[in-house]
Amino acid sequence: MKILFICRANAERSQMAELMFNRLSRKNKAYSAGTSPSDDEIGLPPGRTVSELMLDLGYDNTLSHKRKRLTKAMADKADRVIVMLSKDEIPKELPSYVKKRPNVEYWDVGRIPKANCLTFPPDTYYYHIRWIARIGKHIRTLVREIG
């Protein structure tokens, strides 16, 4: 089974989910993409805070991952699409070709308030650690469900 994780910039939430899922599921494969990373973000590794925290957890391949922009072809090849956008992000960020799919589910794992985005570490570590816990819980449930 192929799982597609989607967030806004493919810098944090969906990257964490992809890494966690691929570590826990041996017979399924996950990949991730962002709905609207900027052109200069494409090809960059995940965000610094995510990379540091995931490295601390033993994910040594975080820097080899690259940010990607979501395409219809990516969504079409997925058996399951998991969207990790907050409710206020979905209307403006999620393309209709994803919204209309029967195999889409939504995980509300929260987001970093804009005010905190301007004060990167240490203020954002709290949100990233919460994401790791929330996403990890969802991933463990998903892996048990699909085998």
pLDDT, one tens digit per residue, over 115-135 is 555 555 566 788 888 889 999
Buried b (16+ CB within 10 A) or exposed e, 26-59: eebebbbbbbbbeeebeebebbebbbebbeeeeb
pLDDT for the residue 73: 97
Supply the angle between the helices 13-24 and 125-146 in degrees, to the nearest 10. 40
pLDDT digits (tens, 9 = 90+) for 6-38: 999 999 899 999 999 999 998 999 999 999 999
Mean pLDDT of the chain: 89
With cut-offs at 50, 70 and 90, classify the pLDDT of residue 92. Answer: confident
pLDDT of 140 over the 80 cut: yes
Length of the chain: 147
Domain topology for 2-146: Rossmann fold (3.40.50)
The reported pTM is 0.91
The Cα 147–Cα 126 span in angstroms is 31
The residue ranges of DSSP E strands in the chain, in sequence order, are 2-7, 29-34, 80-83, 104-106
Residue 79, SS3? coil
pLDDT at 82: 97
pLDDT at 126: 80
* Per-residue model confidence (pLDDT) at position 115: 56
